[in-house]
Amino acid sequence: MLLRTFGWSFAITAAGLALAGVLWGWQGLAIVGILSILEISLSFDNAVINAGILRKMNAFWQKIFLTVGILIAVFGMRLVFPVVIVAITAKMGPLEAVNLAINDKPQYEHLVTGAHPAIAAFGGMFLLMIFLDFIFEEREHKWLGWLERPLAKMGKLDMLSVIIALIVLLVTAMTVATDVAHGGGDKSATVLLSGVAGLITYLVVGGISGYFEDKLEEAEDDEDDDAPAAKTAGDAGSNGASKSSVSGVGLAGKAAFFMFLYLEVIDASFSFDGVIGAFAVTNDIFEMALGLGIGAMYIRSLTVFLVRKGTLDDYVYLEHGAHYAIGALAVILLASIKYEIPEVVTGLVGVGLILLSFWSSVRKNRLEGKPGEGSRAEPEVTSGV
């Protein structure tokens, strides 16, 4: 099971470290290794969130996420994204930005770092909306009941998440954005614009994927309603086959496509702090892409592992811990517009919350006499990694 799930990650790690050693020697090998660990520690909660969404999708779209998605994550966010940011910020062409990244690394680092307020506002607002929608929703299992019960009641108010997010954005723009640590000066307008863009992106992508998911559920309900009539007509066998094509296989078609887009935006939001933080280790875009890419591979493999083992069903508070970690990351991203926050703090906060939620899940299982070891049959996940 371990080799089957993490085999490609192990292979990519060995190849990546070997390539780093050949191209940049022992120092480059060490830098790539450090960046890989940095990415894994910062994005561990991302794997839990991804798993919660990925298990809703059918085998085809799971494979798309694990193949096409990893290409987008590694080459798009870890290599192309910083170059695009430089091109937009410095108002230069893509080729000029690539040339700058290769031949003038200090200036390239300066430009990417200067774009941090906009990046942090966009990613912070997107992640904050994920967290707010989670805590304001009524759920069967409550980790911090004293907090989640009243918040679930408050969540019955329409658009409460959006209102709170906009208030947070306004406060951020009027406080931390007036004298930023990256780039200097007043970035209030930039933060407001980028934050609103992040909020709109969440509402559009999440809303469309939710719409098609609801449509699929309606189709499943229609199949369930038609099943008795079909059996009466002597067509129970054909109805069973028809139903299996809709129910129990996961999201497909447009619903899965927009859910895939939603996953990619989540991954992008999680990677913002990793890309910016990587400049504390190196300003070589190829070392950065290789190191962060290896880390991204492990996050994808961990996502598959969680889905295959049914871990989120066995340890019911893991999703809670991951969403609280998302909320913490959103706050850290917004605060980092002005304050320097070490990446180790970001990583430890996320991992710490997930470990606490895991421990709480284990305690719950012991009290209820449940094994909690993912003993149920593995759902089908066709993996390309």
pLDDT (tens digit, 9 = 90+) per residue, 280-339?
677 787 888 888 888 888 888 888 888 877 777 788 888 888 889 888 888 988 888 888
The angle at the Cα of 139, spanning 197 to 129, to the nearest 5 degrees, equals 10
pLDDT value of position 196? 93
Beta bridge mates, 57: 251
pLDDT (tens digit, 9 = 90+) per residue, 145-188?
888 888 888 888 878 899 999 999 999 999 888 877 555 678 88
Nearest one of 331, 372, 360 to 145, comparing CA atoms: 360
Q: State how far the Cα of 157 lies from the Cα of 47, in Å rounded to an integer.
A: 30
Query: Mean pLDDT, to the nearest integer, of 70-76?
Result: 77
Indicate whether 14 pLDDT > 60.
Answer: yes
pLDDT value of position 164? 93
Nearest one of 72, 34, 127, 183 to 330, comparing CA atoms: 127
For all residues of the chain together, what is the average pLDDT?
Answer: 77
Q: Which residue has the tokens 């899965």?
A: 256
Cβ(319)–Cβ(130) below 8 Å = no
Cα maximum dimension of the chain:
75
The angle at the Cα of 155, spanning 152 to 158, to the nearest 5 degrees, equals 165
CA dihedral of 5, 18, 97, 189, whole degrees rounded to 10: 50
pLDDT value of position 236? 41
Torsion sign over Cα 80, 83, 88, 93: negative
Q: State how far the Cα of 65 lies from the Cα of 63, in Å rounded to an integer.
A: 5
Indicate whether 111 pLDDT > 70.
Answer: yes
Domain layout of the chain by residue ranges:
2-368
Residue 111: how many CA atoms within 13 Å on its side-chain side? 21
Q: Quickly state the pLDDT bin for 218 (edges 50, 70, 90).
A: low
pLDDT value of position 165? 94
pLDDT (tens digit, 9 = 90+) per residue, 229-270?
444 444 544 443 333 333 345 666 777 787 788 788 777 777
Most confident of 38-42, 129-133, 337-341: 129-133
The phi, psi pair for 251, rounded to 5°, reads -65, 145
